[in-house]
Structure 1
Amino acid sequence: MAAGGYPAADPGGGFTGGDSAPDGTGGTTDGTGDKGDKSGLRTALAGLTTRGRSFLAAGIAATVCAYVLGQSDLLRVGLLLTVLPLVCAGVLYRTRYRVAGSRRLSPARVPAGSEARVHLRMDNVSRLPTGLLMLQDRVPYVLGPRPRFVLDRVEAGGRREVSYRVRSDLRGRYPLGPLQLRLTDPFGMCELTRSFATYDTLTVIPHVEPLPPVRLAGEATGYGDGRQRSLALAGEDDVIPRGYRYGDDLRRVHWRSTARYGELMVRREEQPQRARCTVLLDTRGPAFQGAGPDSAFEWAVSGAASVLVHMLERGFSVRLLTDSGSAAPGEGTDGFAGVGQGSADAAGLLMDTLAVVDHSDTYTLSAAYDVLRGGNEGLLVAFFGDLDEEQAAVAARMRQRSRGAIAFLLDGAGWSQGPGAPVSPQCARRLRLLQEAGWTAVAVPPGASVVSMWRQADRERTGTAAPTSTGGRS
């Protein structure tokens, strides 16, 4: 972790510059003064502490009294009290040294409820030792209190390393920094505080639960139905004739196409297909009640993250879709992640998207339905909030373009009552409507784990699930 560039000195002296980027590179601060003496004087006087201001006020009062009373001894005391804080401020302001700071996050992406460690490093890149340094890093209140450190004298060319922990139960992207340094004189008369220019970002992703490898309807075994045809690289098989590429087998030369196009053409043969899975996340604001890490919406986000990671690990091409019809940015050319890129990169991209997903302004699922009816989705896994009669009908039609469909329906009335609440009659009616349309639909009670609901979906498919309590006639 090395120091980075060296920005120009601040006109007011003290500390300026930029702290590290996530890769650990740092910035440098310069403590030299500036040509603007008036501006420098104002900066130095503004840095006087309560002790320094008290000494200055007492010195001025003693000097005035000594002049009025004609006491020379009191005049000398007054001058000493007045000059001491001014001298300390001037010496501190004119101190010449350069300090480089850097920050490193470990890890930079952390699940909700887990801790991350932030490592700070300060390097004295000047030829003079520093005085006492007080270091403070700015963090959002949801990550904990602001960390503060006191660094003893740093020798020329020396370094100091400190670290602190942050933790958040709420997913999101949180800025860390800018880093602040405060320098004091030995008498505590003056303090100069300066901030670095840049900051890092900690990404808190949804909690992911490892799911068991159950066999669900619509899942393909490896080849044939339910698999996506993937484009071939050089030397691989495709589906129609194409130009010759280095490494192709000469036995696959298609002479008729070669004669027609005037260049060497080879046959494209059918290739094994790759399973697709679309995860639909309902983000409509009216569909969810409550907020916080234990709310129904956060459960849906965590469930979607768990399913996406599970499907990527099983070799599926996955897509994250919301009710507004938008998908995670940066996916494959066909809209599915995990085909032309590593599963780890695809999972990181999807988790970054889910880390900042929030309630949408839409009230219907029509936009998502328009996207789904445009092609074969393979396996469809949906996380729905409260559905009225119209939106339940739209959700039921989504089943037509998928080979298998699983729905997790979060009952808003039950989640508002807390754990142990029965399924409401309205939720039971929506479940029956989805099941009649071919969905494997289950109601999610408050406090249920994603793993248990995943297993229940498998039992619903095989017809071994226990009867669901509706809490009343529907």
Structure 2
Amino acid sequence: MSAGAPSGAGGEGRPAGGLRSSLSGLTTRGRSFVAAGIAAAVCAYVLGQEELLRVGLLLAALPLICVLALHRTRHRVTGSRRLTPTRVSAGGEARVQLRMDNTSRVPTGLLMLQDRVPYVLGPRPRFVLDRVEPGGRREVSYRVRSDLRGRYPLGPLQLRLSDPFGLVELTRSFSAYDTLTVIPRTEALPAVRLTGESSGYGDGSRRSLALSGDDDVIPRGYRRGDDLRRVHWRSTARYGELMVRREEQPQRSRATVLLDTRQLAFEGAGPDSAFEWAVSGAASTLTHLLEQGFSVRLLTDTGDSVPGGEGGGGFNGGSSGGQESAVAAGLMMDTLAVVGHSDGAGLSRAHDAIRGAGGALGGAGSDGLLVGFFGDLDDVQTELVARMRQRAAGAVAFVLDSETWAGRPARETALPPLQERLRRLRDAGWTALAAPPGVAFGELWRQAGNAPLGTGTSGGWG
């Protein structure tokens, strides 16, 4: 459902079970009326008091009449929900608007609305609506907010109806629900030129469709304003009309953002944990590279890439950009919204996925960029990451160390010192930087842009 579209409009509730189930909606007052009416009728029969019998029948019939009226009314009250927007950043707010319509010819009694909301989004909203006239509507709204990324269901909407005498209360649950996607926080990054990077569109990323001489030229018809020096005379003679060589077509530079999700590589949980910092950094990088015109994919240690691996090795958009890139950005952000720890012990699958990209990412003349976010790396994984650099024209690594973030060695295992890991990555050609707690990712990104090939930042972080 698109953002802002109503859901649950006129949705049927759960099976009502007929009038018998509606009788269970009698309140204590309603049951007391029925009991008093029956008692009065029995006394009238025993004492021979006709007037008392009328009173007893009235007391017993009134709750039953209310049951019948509400039973019909609850199926003629429709509900809808409007969620705006459906995707927000962590810490952002979304607005939920509830609307009730009375499609019957009689007014309703007291209505109470309740929407089911996960506790992480806040308290469960409840609203009390007074009488709704025939054909009338009521609208109420509330806001939801979460500091934790994820996908959260909203609904189903529950409606409780009550008669004016308080004798009966009936509940209806609508079946439709919405989903709020909370994506990681993103940070605006400075426009820097990373090592080995060409711009998304521009010098170094253009190619001519004619690479091997006149036989490979793909001509098109002459258009007013075309440079006459681009006229292709052989094609003009063949087709009998003026033909020109097609202009050079821009080819989008490609970039891979690699996110290490191994559970053994990170410690801690919550919004301020090392893993959440890495997820937020990956989201910021993806957003920035897409804005710069790159064709981007998200890759995890499990070897899964987003967008899918069909076609261009998982890269989005080709040279079309536009709407296709926006769709791919949404897919990647939705993936980061729910990404969790993997049970993997190594990065071999990610290495194979990068190697399988072939010339799409690396190789001579490639303008591919690799940006990695890594947790703890032992000797084997450090060597594996170092070999990933061979497949990229430029590579930047942000390394998060558990000893720095948690204040103790990672799970009491022997790991090479952080500086040693960074040195080995730099020797392999990576621009490797340490990511300590509390540092703004935008500053690290700037440091990566200022670092010469194969080195980290000159400051105190690397």
Q: TM-score, normalised by structure 1?
A: 0.78
Verify: 1:337 aligned to 2:319, yes or no.
Answer: no
Please state how far the C-alpha of 1:277 moved relative to its aligned partner.
1.5
Deviation string for 1:136-180 (max 9, x for gaps)?
111112111211111222222222111100011111111111111
SS at match of 1:310: helix
Aligned residue type for 1:218: G
Query: Which of 355, 370, 378 is the matching residue for 1:388?
Result: 378
Verify: 1:320 aligned to 2:260, yes or no.
Answer: no
Q: Where does 1:343-354 land on structure 2 (aligned, <5 Å)? A: 343-354=325-336
Counting aligned pairs with the same residue, the percent is 64
Query: Which of 198, 206, 210 is the matching residue for 2:176?
Result: 198
Give the equivalent residue in structure 2 for 1:363: 345
Aligned residue type for 1:386: D
Give the equivalent residue in structure 1 for 2:76: 98
Query: Which of 428, 436, 443 is the matching residue for 1:437?
Result: 428
Whether the aligned pair in 1 keeps the contact of 2:66 and 2:167 (CA below 8 Å) is: yes
Q: 1:24 to 1:64 in 2, by over 3 A?
A: closer
Q: Where does 1:80-99 land on structure 2 (aligned, <5 Å)? A: 82-95=60-73, 98-99=76-77
Aligned residue type for 1:40: G
Q: Where does 1:130-279 land on structure 2 (aligned, <5 Å)? A: 130-221=108-199, 222-225=201-204, 227=205, 240-241=216-217, 271-279=249-257
Whether the aligned pair in 1 keeps the contact of 2:267 and 2:406 (CA below 8 Å) is: yes
Please state how far the C-alpha of 1:188 moved relative to its aligned partner.
1.4
| Partner Cα distance (2:209, 2:272) in 1 | 43
Please state how far the C-alpha of 1:55 moved relative to its aligned partner.
4.7
273-282 or 74-83, which moves further after superposition? 74-83
Please state how far the C-alpha of 1:26 moved relative to its aligned partner.
5.1
| Partner Cα distance (1:268, 1:332) in 2 | 29
Whether the aligned pair in 1 keeps the contact of 2:40 and 2:52 (CA below 8 Å) is: yes
Query: Which of 433, 450, 460 is the matching residue for 2:441?
Result: 450
Q: 1:70 to 1:411 in 2, by over 3 A?
A: farther
325-334 or 173-182, which moves further after superposition? 325-334
| Partner Cα distance (1:449, 1:162) in 2 | 40
Please state how far the C-alpha of 1:341 moved relative to its aligned partner.
3.2
Deviation string for 1:313-335 (max 9, x for gaps)?
11222111111121113688413
Please state how far the C-alpha of 1:443 moved relative to its aligned partner.
1.2
Please state how far the C-alpha of 1:456 moved relative to its aligned partner.
3.0
64-73 or 380-389, which moves further after superposition? 64-73
| Partner Cα distance (1:173, 1:231) in 2 | 45
| Partner Cα distance (1:198, 1:353) in 2 | 24
Query: Which of 125, 129, 136 is the matching residue for 2:107?
Result: 129
Give the equivalent residue in structure 2 for 1:375: 359
| Partner Cα distance (2:64, 2:445) in 1 | 71
Please state how far the C-alpha of 1:371 moved relative to its aligned partner.
1.9
Whether the aligned pair in 2 keeps the contact of 1:230 and 1:273 (CA below 8 Å) is: no
Give the equivalent residue in structure 2 for 1:51: 29
Please state how far the C-alpha of 1:416 moved relative to its aligned partner.
1.7
| Partner Cα distance (1:216, 1:24) in 2 | 45
Whether the aligned pair in 1 keeps the contact of 2:431 and 2:456 (CA below 8 Å) is: no
SS at match of 2:252: strand
Give the equivalent residue in structure 2 for 1:112: 90
SS at match of 1:183: strand
| Partner Cα distance (1:265, 1:288) in 2 | 61
| Partner Cα distance (2:304, 2:124) in 1 | 37
387-396 or 445-454, which moves further after superposition? 445-454
Whether the aligned pair in 2 keeps the contact of 1:20 and 1:198 (CA below 8 Å) is: no
Please state how far the C-alpha of 1:99 moved relative to its aligned partner.
2.6
Whether the aligned pair in 2 keeps the contact of 1:288 and 1:296 (CA below 8 Å) is: yes
Whether the aligned pair in 2 keeps the contact of 1:30 and 1:99 (CA below 8 Å) is: no
370-379 or 161-170, which moves further after superposition? 370-379
Please state how far the C-alpha of 1:265 moved relative to its aligned partner.
11
Whether the aligned pair in 2 keeps the contact of 1:214 and 1:455 (CA below 8 Å) is: yes
| Partner Cα distance (1:303, 1:68) in 2 | 82
Give the equivalent residue in structure 1 for 2:458: 465
Q: TM-score, normalised by structure 2?
A: 0.80
Please state how far the C-alpha of 1:390 moved relative to its aligned partner.
0.8
| Partner Cα distance (1:107, 1:288) in 2 | 32
Give the equivalent residue in structure 1 for 2:269: 291
Aligned residue type for 1:150: V
Whether the aligned pair in 2 keeps the contact of 1:280 and 1:320 (CA below 8 Å) is: yes
Please state how far the C-alpha of 1:305 moved relative to its aligned partner.
0.5
Q: Where does 1:6-21 land on structure 2 (aligned, <5 Å)? A: none
Deviation string for 1:231-283 (max 9, x for gaps)?
99xxxxx9945586897989665959x99xxxx99967754432221111111
CA RMSD, aligned part only? 4.0
| Partner Cα distance (1:207, 1:468) in 2 | 23
| Partner Cα distance (1:305, 1:291) in 2 | 18
165-174 or 334-343, which moves further after superposition? 334-343
Q: 1:246 to 1:199 in 2, by over 3 A?
A: farther
Give the equivalent residue in structure 1 for 2:401: 411
Q: 1:444 to 1:71 in 2, by over 3 A?
A: farther
Aligned residue type for 2:343: D
Structure 2: unaligned runs, 5 residues or longer: 362-367, 409-414
